[in-house]
Amino acid sequence: MSAIKGASVVIVGGGVTGLSAGWWLAREGVDVLVIEKGMIGWEASGRNGGGCSHHHSPLFLEEQRLWPKMDELLGYPTEFAGSRIRLASSEHQMALYGRALSNAARQGFKSEILDTRQIREFVPLAGDNMVGGYFYHFGGHANPHRTLQAYAWAMQDHGGRLMQHCAVTGFRSVGGKVTGVETERGLIACDHLVIAAGPHTGRLSAMLGHEVPMASARCEMVVTEPLPLMPYGGVDGNGLYGRQTLRGNLAYGGGPHEWLDIAGNAAPAKPTTPLMGHIGRRLAELLPKAAHARIIRSWAGVIENTPDGRPVIDRLDTQSNVVVATLSSVGFGLSPASGHAIRDLVMDGACSFADISSFRLARFAQLEPDWRELQGWQALAAEEALAA
């Protein structure tokens, strides 16, 4: 791999965003190279809840169109399962989760309110403590590890290349275009550059004079021992997201974000007892008949957040051959669509299937320098975050 001198499109970041974009480009015969500082999926893309239900996003229709076809399109399994059940333990949660109904209905998707009999039937691990629930005939979940690997293999099947364990350290520009990417293994020439480096997108884009404003947060997931399979694996609520795996484990996350300052190539975040306990307690409330199940694994991940919670997918106005893409904490589910949008921006300069003007970087032009403090997104220990 050290012999690689260049590629038509170089993508920085081997998470779902970069790999999906790489796959979209490679399947059209574009010479694409994804450069990853560690292993693919080592950051949020391999540590997330696998949810694919982003009805608030302009990419929602494309997300929903593509997920049921992804196994076939990629040629590898993602374990996608459609639809979602959300249970509420209070009237407040019921009202909150109910907002999805009208939003999704406007876009042509059906949802239903579940009565207690239906909850018992569809969610055998639930108890009588939920005030109600919803069945969304949209969204779903997939296995993050399988999906990530599927993108990488599918991209490589189409001739795309992948370079792991190689950090990008800088960029070379000539006449308003980036012409090369500086890496730990030397300079790699490119015609186009995509920066899809998760929480590091801000730092890397700042090297080109356009800092994408971002704050990073650590959050956690727990996994229980396997339990009998429920009719629907996509059950969440009570402030949690997650799924039942095909083996029966409950894999759930949620709770407060612990805001971090991430510097350079920091070591992966580690889980902590307070947040794990918090998720375990909420999970036992959500699914009381699983309260006896032992937690057998847990991990932490760092999510990327923009000030308004919306993705940035945009071409830089000063270097027109550069696309920056960061998904602001909803990047797994949106990945089939975000890769398509990035492909469109690289090849055609505009997204062909959705209005993504709300993802423009220019919306942050007037951002206050102390926006993190104003939002209360400052570094806090897990205990402080729980108390806040």
Comparing CA positions, the residue from 287, 369, 293 lying closest to residue 89 is: 287
Say whether 50 sits in a helix, a strand or coil: coil
Q: Which of 7, 21, 25, 44 binds ligand FAD (CB under 6 A)?
A: 44
Q: Is 244 in the site for ligand FAD (CB under 6 A)?
A: no
Q: Which stretch binds ligand FAD (CB under 6 A): 21-29, 123-131, 283-291, 329-337?
A: 329-337
Q: Are 34 and 181 in contact (CB under 8 A)?
A: no
Q: Is 323 in the site for ligand FAD (CB under 6 A)?
A: no
Contact status: 324 vs ligand FAD (CB under 6 A)? no
- Judged by CB under 6 A, the chain residues 81 through 140 that form the site for ligand FAD are none
Pure H helices in 123-196: 144-157
Query: Rounded to a whole number, what is the distance in angstroms from the first to the last CA of the chain?
Result: 48
Helix (H, G, I), strand (E, B) or coil at 274: helix
Q: Distance of alpha carbon 321 from its chain centroid, rounded?
A: 24
Complex with ligand FAD: residue 126 or 262, whichever CB lies closer: 262
37 forms part of the interface with ligand FAD (CB under 6 A): yes
Distance CA 315, CA 305 (A): 19
Task: Output 127 or 343, the one with its CB closest to ligand FAD.
Answer: 343
Looking only at residues 142 through 171 of this chain, which bind ligand FAD when binding is defined by CB under 6 A? Answer: 167-168
Q: Which residue lies nearer to ligand FAD by CB, 10 or 94?
A: 10
- The H or E element spanning position 101 is helix 91-106
d(CA 74, CA 136) in angstroms, rounded, equals: 26
CA distances, 193 to each of 10, 129, 320 (Å): 5, 52, 10
Structure-token pair, residue 217: 């947060």
DSSP string, 72-90: HHHSS----EEEEEEEESS
Regarding 332 and contact with ligand FAD (CB under 6 A), the answer is yes
CA distance 290 to 111: 26
Segment interacting with ligand FAD (CB under 6 A) among 34-42, 76-84, 128-136, 285-293: 34-42
Show contacts with ligand FAD in window 191-230 (CB under 6 A): 196-198, 200, 204, 219, 221
Min CB(366)–ligand FAD separation in Å: 25
Number of neighbours of residue 168 by Cβ within 10 angstroms: 24
Which CB sits closer to ligand FAD, 203 or 363?
203
| Shortest spacing between CB 116 and ligand FAD, in angstroms | 27
DSSP state of 75: S
Rule CB under 6 A: choose which of 9, 30, 35, 126 binds ligand FAD.
35
**Contact (CB, 8 A) for 148 and 23:** no
Round to whole Å and give the CA distance between 241 and 116: 21
Q: Nearer Cβ to ligand FAD, position 127 or 245?
A: 245
383 phi and psi angles, rounded to 5 deg: -65, -40
Span near ligand FAD by CB under 6 A; candidates 44-52, 70-78, 99-107, 357-365: 44-52
Asked if 280 touches ligand FAD (CB under 6 A), the answer is no
How far is it, in rounded angstroms, from Cα 144 to Cα 43?
11
Among 22, 50, 140, 336, binds ligand FAD (CB under 6 A): 50
Contact 7, 178 (CB under 8 A): no
How many residues sit in the footprint of ligand FAD (CB under 6 A)? 40
Q: At closest approach, how far in Å is the CB of 76 from ligand FAD?
A: 18
**Least distance in Å: CB of 347 to ligand FAD?**
20
Residue 345 binding ligand FAD, by CB under 6 A: no
Specify the stretch interacting with ligand FAD by CB under 6 A; choose among 8-16, 63-71, 289-297, 366-374: 8-16
Name 103's bridge partners: none
Tell me the pairing of strands 235-237 and 81-88: parallel
Residues 13-32 that bind ligand FAD (CB under 6 A): 13-18
Binding site for ligand FAD (CB under 6 A): 12-18, 35-38, 42-45, 47-51, 167-168, 196-198, 200, 204, 219, 221, 241, 253, 301, 303, 326-327, 329-333
